[in-house]
Amino acid sequence: MNTHIILASRSEIRAQLLRQAGVDFRVEVARVDEDAIKAALLAEQAAPRDIADTLAEAKARKVSGKCPGDMVLGCDQVLDFEGRLLSKPETADDALKQLRAMRGKRHMLLSAAVIYKDGEPLWRHVGQVRLVMRQASDAYLEGYVDRNWNSIRHAVGAYKLEEEGVRLFTTIDGSYFNVLGLPMLELMNYLGLQGIIEQ
């Protein structure tokens, strides 16, 4: 088929997942004001799931307008902790505060993906994962942030499960792909059914 796939995200892990799955795509970063969209939705008391979905859609729609005929994949991930959204930590102190607040408790990651073509939505999915963080000591959390700050500063919740962050958890209920920020199984199924990838 002549349809091209565009990933409207600067996320290296999402690009890596698509590459490893043998999907042919190119990256076109969406220029959207995520903070403004998120603030407006929070002011309306939107559910975290809806915030993830709206942000993913905004990215897909923005790039789709410039790329006629192409399938554009927009993605976003949010962390729902006790009904409030946690964002990427701005400082190492923020990271430590987030981790201390979450230890011994449950939170949820919501990974949204939306596909647009010619300015119209074709498909969407929000995957969710429930995680329980172990009761890590202050000393361990401080060392964890010191050792991993350059990496975890780009992650909601201040951890990366594919790295040392796996040591922070006792229970993970849901797809590992959703933890990484992309509902891969559902996406591959859709692309296969559409004849975009071989199945």
Q: Which residues pair with 115 in a beta bridge?
A: 73, 123
Q: Are 169 and 143 in contact (CB under 8 A)?
A: no
Q: Which of 76, 93, 94, 138 is catalytic?
A: 76
Cα–Cα distance measured from residue 74 to residue 186, given in angstroms and rounded to the nearest whole number: 14
State the CB neighbour count (10 A cutoff) for residue 48. Answer: 22
Cite the DSSP H helix spans in 1-137: 12-20, 34-43, 48-64, 92-102
Sign of torsion over alpha carbons 26, 28, 29, 33: negative
Q: How far is CA 67 from CA 6, 8, 58, 190, in A?
A: 9, 11, 15, 20
DSSP state of 194: T
Look up 70 and say whether it is catalytic: no
State the CB neighbour count (10 A cutoff) for residue 70. Answer: 20
Q: Are 7 and 14 in contact (CB under 8 A)?
A: yes
Catalytic residues: 76
